[in-house]
Structure 1
């Protein structure tokens, strides 16, 4: 057998095995790997490269080495789940850099961080003053997680006393011009609803590259032809406009009638509808 064919066969075999080993070991990104996982990845990659290119080596030896380096991480992971001490040894511990607004200089030196390194990490999170930070911790993965002081955090609906409904993730209902039925069913929608919404936009399914629907029944689409503009979802604004029109009609009816009972009924219902509009307006804009 020619050497180049042998190399191709060995490479494909080792590549397939490496794929499944990586899949079984987990889906962590490189930036999220701990020290032990990083070392394991380097060694496994080196083994595959060496035994794929060197046809004089026995490929069975390479498979044995891969099996060992596949088994070791699994064993380490199993022991780590049982022992906090062992987990700290293999995965490392978090290090506090800022606590109660004060920089922990000794911890910076311990992790070989300079003041410039810390400031750079803070700037990555759009923080330019150390005085704005309440707490910062360096994770074993190398990420710096930062908690700004309360007065520097963005306002939330909870801070403003607003009760907002649960917002679930949108579902992709059209992909590459084809309808995906399962996400539609998850939203309790069907193809008739989808066709109706596309007809409103004067768009055919075949022209849609990607379409997503949310729990409010709003459909957003991206077309193959980027030159065609797509109207924004209008269900919520139309609903809000309809509510306001109904409230205005009740006010008009109250002014137009001379029957005091009817006038009181119109005014009462108008006030109730106005309260409902004030309540739902933040969610319909």
Structure 2
């Protein structure tokens, strides 16, 4: 049992290190070669965990080899557009000026139902409202609406903007995000004043969000609920 625990921890740390080497990508944004690498790494890791007779190196060596190949592929893709197109393909336009390109759908083996589902995911329910839609190399759909269908912005309405920065988190679960504070022109002194104004310590803040104005939203951590002792009448 101890050997299994040690092997599992070792494999976990090595896989984590390999994935960190490969860079940050959300699962839905993986390119084909990245998805293949992820699947292979997970399978190699499970072999050493499940089979104690298999040496750990039997998984670690190919694991880091796959990570190295992924890094090499990323470098070559960065330097050569042709290599990138070969490995990841090219974006494909599926809607242009409200017209669905059926040949493009057939090429991508994408059904009309799939396209409509992807459009609904973008809050678009009528293809005629779309000026341009393209299926990216990672499988996601990018949509540009017709100008008359675009939502109005503050500049369109000629309204004065009260603040220039977006509303972003300053504290998450008691942890201070220094970069966000500085980006909005604030510092730890402002943070301490804000916490004291709410009779709190910074560590007691669950969420604090704001922008470059004095407006903010603060949420206090709630104490953990303890189990209520059982009374006789409850029994």
TM-score (normalizing by structure 1): 0.68
Residue of 176, 195, 200 corresponding to 1:205: 200
d(CA) in 2 for partners of 1:16, 1:218: 42
Distance 1:145 1:182, change over 3 A: closer
Say if 2:84 is the partner of 1:83: no
Post-superposition Cα deviations, 1:108-146, rounded to whole Å, max 9, x if no partner, equal 001111111111111122211111111100011111111
CA distance in 2, matches of 1:87, 1:78: 10
Structure 2 CA distance for partners of 1:123 and 1:171, relative to 1, 3 Å:
closer
**1:167 correspondence with 2:164:** yes
Ranges in structure 2 where 5+ consecutive residues have no aligned partner: 224-235
Match of 2:66 in 1: 69
Alignment partner, residue 118 of structure 1: 115
Q: Residues 218-263 of structure 1, C-alpha deviation per residue, up to 9 Å, x if partnerless?
A: 232112359xxxxxxxxxxxxxxxxxxxxxxxxxxxxxxxxxxxxx
5+ long unaligned stretches in structure 1: 227-285
| Counterpart in the other structure of 1:50 | 47
Instruction: Give the number of aligned pairs.
Output: 220
Task: Note the 1:143-162 alignment, pairs <5 A.
Answer: 143-162=140-159
Give the corresponding residue for 2:91.
Answer: 94
Which secondary structure does the structure 1 equivalent of 2:213 belong to?
Answer: coil
Relative to structure 1, the CA distance from residue 217 to residue 62 in structure 2 (aligned partners, 3 Å threshold; closer, same or farther) is: same
1:191 corresponds, among 189, 192, 197, to 189
8 A contact 1:135–1:148 mirrored in 2: yes
Q: Partners in 2 of 1:74 and 1:178 — Cα distance? A: 33
**Which has the larger helix fraction?**
1
* 95 and 174 in structure 1: CA distance in 2 versus 1, 3 angstrom threshold: closer
Q: Report SS of the residue matched to 2:134.
A: strand
Tell me how large the CA RMSD over aligned residues is: 2.7
Corresponding residue SS for 2:19: helix
Which is bigger in relative contact order (C-alpha 8 A, separation at least 6)? 2
Equivalent-residue separation in structure 1 for 2:173 and 2:212 (angstroms): 22
How far does residue 211 in structure 1 lie from its aligned partner after superposition?
Answer: 2.5
SS of the counterpart of 1:142? Answer: coil
How far does residue 37 in structure 1 lie from its aligned partner after superposition? 0.6
Is the Cα–Cα contact under 8 Å of residues 95 and 138 in structure 1 kept in the other structure? Answer: yes
Matches of 2:177 and 2:114, distance apart in 1: 47
Using the TM superposition, give the Cα deviation of residue 160 of structure 1 relative to its aligned residue in structure 2, in angstroms.
3.0
